[in-house]
A and B are shown apart, each in its own frame.
Chain A
Amino acid sequence: MISRRRRYEILSERSIETLIYLCGISAIIFVFGICFFVFREGLPLVFKEDTNFSLGKFFFSTEWFPTSMANKRYGALALIVGTLTVTILAMVIAVPFALGATVFLSEFCGGKFRETLKIVIELLAAIPSIVWGFIGLTVINPLIIQVFHVPVGLNALNGAVILALMAMPIMVSIGEDALKAVPDSYREAALALGATRWQMVFRVLLPAAKNGLLAAVLLGVGRAVGETMGVLMATGHAVNIPFFRDDGSFNWGWMFESVRTLTATIAAELGETSQGSDHYRVLFLIGVLLLSITFVINLTADLVVKGIRKQK
């Protein structure tokens, strides 16, 4: 015989379990819901007949004229290249700084100073991207023009600097966790063997924390790829592959060219389209592309964190 009280306990335990289960399920439902929605709005274009759109042109043509009256064209190559350019440039700037800051924070400073620095870095992470865009317009862009003596105008470097600043806090805080996870006994063992602090950092800490650090970088990349407002305001918004001049020669000043990213295109154009139009659908296809990119990046980061990457 189960007593009344015991029955009540079982019942409440069951209902709490169910509740938690529903919460977990709902997260999955939301993710799938979003994917479903984006795919549903975008995919019909791929199978539509009598349209100027084709997947080949989408990926390999640079001609993006979705609003042309006579001849609409939907080539997203320049946008893809724009996103890649700005993201990679941002990482080239951000990774060394973030790594330096991470090592400094966790190994070379202590006490109050370190706590203060961490708070400042977290504040940096809390700045809305529109404010970053604003800073890019009014501070960084004039600075770039002055320092590099380039023509007035917004450019890829400007956007990359902003993305770097935005991605750095997340990389530093996750990177610091990765270094903190390395046991102190490693540090002491290395130093007891006569290593200097730098030798200890480069030969023991970084190899030991490499998975966590890689994950930090990947999450930074994910942050940069998905960022919209900041780059929309800062990169100049010209559909342009920056690496070639009109005559086809390599453009060494590519980072001072104006570019446009995938995200910025959606943000700028979706409001003007009519629902269900080809233009509307192609923007959702760009959304599908972005989703896939960030999905792959996050999945890789996840696998890296779990250390599934085979060690030798």
Chain B
Amino acid sequence: MHDSPPKIKVEQFSSWYGDKPVHKEISFHVRANEVLGIIGPAQSGKTTLLRAINRTLELTAGARSTGTIQVDGEDVRWVANVYELRRKIGMVAPLPVGLPLTIYDNVAFAPRCAGLSRKSDLDALVEKCLRQAALWDEVKDRLDSLGTKLSGGQQQRLTIARALSHQPEILCLDEFSIAIDPVTTMRIEEVLKELRKDITIILVTNLTQQARRLADRTMFLWNGEIIQLDRSEVIFSENPGNQKTYDYVHGIFG
């Protein structure tokens, strides 16, 4: 597994919103089928990094970047089909973004955009994704009601089902537990443990312990720079080899 080519390779990546720099020449890679945790205080550039990977950063007027991000060896900037790239990556936002559609249509959205229209195929796919996100049993009787009528935790699982609906090879989760209760958080963590067998996961998290529980390796991003990137055992050990990491992980970061 350690010899396989990296799923994502970031080199000398810098980014700006207007004149305001965010990342400062960071380089790292994500291995196929690993869970990479990203921790770091607010405003460090975690969200921006994810948005650069699926090329939604360019939707913000004034956002720029240099350096390269490769997915499967291909520079995302020059991919022939940006829609295909985005379908390769599932994205889950901090606050669940329930599109103003029914539960069914939320999950069927991406496959339909990709051209799938057979009802039976869609039905099967919707059920599969909702099951994967541990939501099927709760919503199977009301697939036709609005997604926004679900509770916060259910909505977040709906967005996970939706992110899985285009069968991505990479799943990016951006502080998914920020607005949901601990019980639901644990349920989703169980879901992720299942998913990690098949796909590569980037887990940006506000709960450092979550990275410890789930991530193979963890990156400490601070102020647009990688302070440390190592196996999670090392990052969360009593002696990570970096004082800043130790301070942040142990909550004495100032």
Which residues of A are at the interface with B, using a C-beta cutoff of 8 A? 110, 183, 185-196, 199, 203-204, 207-208, 311-312
Nearest Cβ in chain A — how far from B199, in angstroms?
16
> A311 and B146: CB pair below 8 A?
yes
Q: CB-defined interface of B141-166 with A at 8 Å, one 1/0 digit per residue?
A: 00011100000000000010011011
CB-based nearest B residue for A182:
B100
**Of B59, B110, B145, B146, which contacts A193 at CB under 8 A?**
B110
Which chain B residues numbered 64 to 104 have a C-beta less than 8 Å away from chain A?
A: 83-84, 86-87, 89, 91, 93, 95, 97, 99-101
Min C-beta distance of A309 to chain B, whole Å: 14
A185–B98 CA distance with the chains assembled, in angstroms: 9
Q: Distance in Å from the Cβ of A5 to the closest Cβ of chain B? A: 46
User: B residues within 8 A CB of A199?
Assistant: 113
Report whether over half of chain A's contact residues are helix, strand or loop; otherwise say mixed.
Answer: helix
CA distance A243 to B223 in the complex (A): 72
CB-based nearest A residue for B84: A194
Contacts of A207 in B (CB 8 A): 100-101
How far, in Å, is B178 (CB) from chain A's closest CB? 14
Contact between chains at A191 and B86 (CB < 8 Å): yes
Complex Cα spacing A188 to B57, Å? 9
User: How many Å from the CB of B52 to the closest CB on chain A?
Assistant: 12
Find out whether the CB atom of B54 lies under 8 angstroms from the CB atom of A192. yes
**Candidates A183, A188, A196; contact of B59 at CB < 8 Å:** A188
Q: Which residues of B contact A191 (CB under 8 A)?
A: 56, 59, 86
- Is there an interface contact between B61 and A110, defined as CB atoms closer than 8 Å? yes
Q: Would you call A187 and B61 a contact (CB within 8 A)? A: no
Instruction: Please indicate which of the listed interface residues A110, A188, A194, A204 has the most CB atoms of chain B within 10 Å of its own CB.
Output: A194
- Is B99 in contact with A186, judged by CB distance below 8 angstroms? yes
Contacts of B84 in A (CB 8 A): 194
What CA separation (Å) do A188 and B86 show in the bound complex? 11
- From A110, A186, A194, A311, B86 is in contact (CB under 8 Å) with A194
A-B contact pairs, 24 of them (CB 8 A): A185-B95, A186-B100, A188-B59, A189-B99, A191-B59, A192-B54, A192-B56, A192-B86, A192-B91, A193-B113, A193-B166, A194-B87, A194-B166, A195-B83, A195-B109, A195-B110, A199-B113, A203-B101, A203-B112, A207-B101, A208-B99, A208-B100, A312-B144, A312-B145
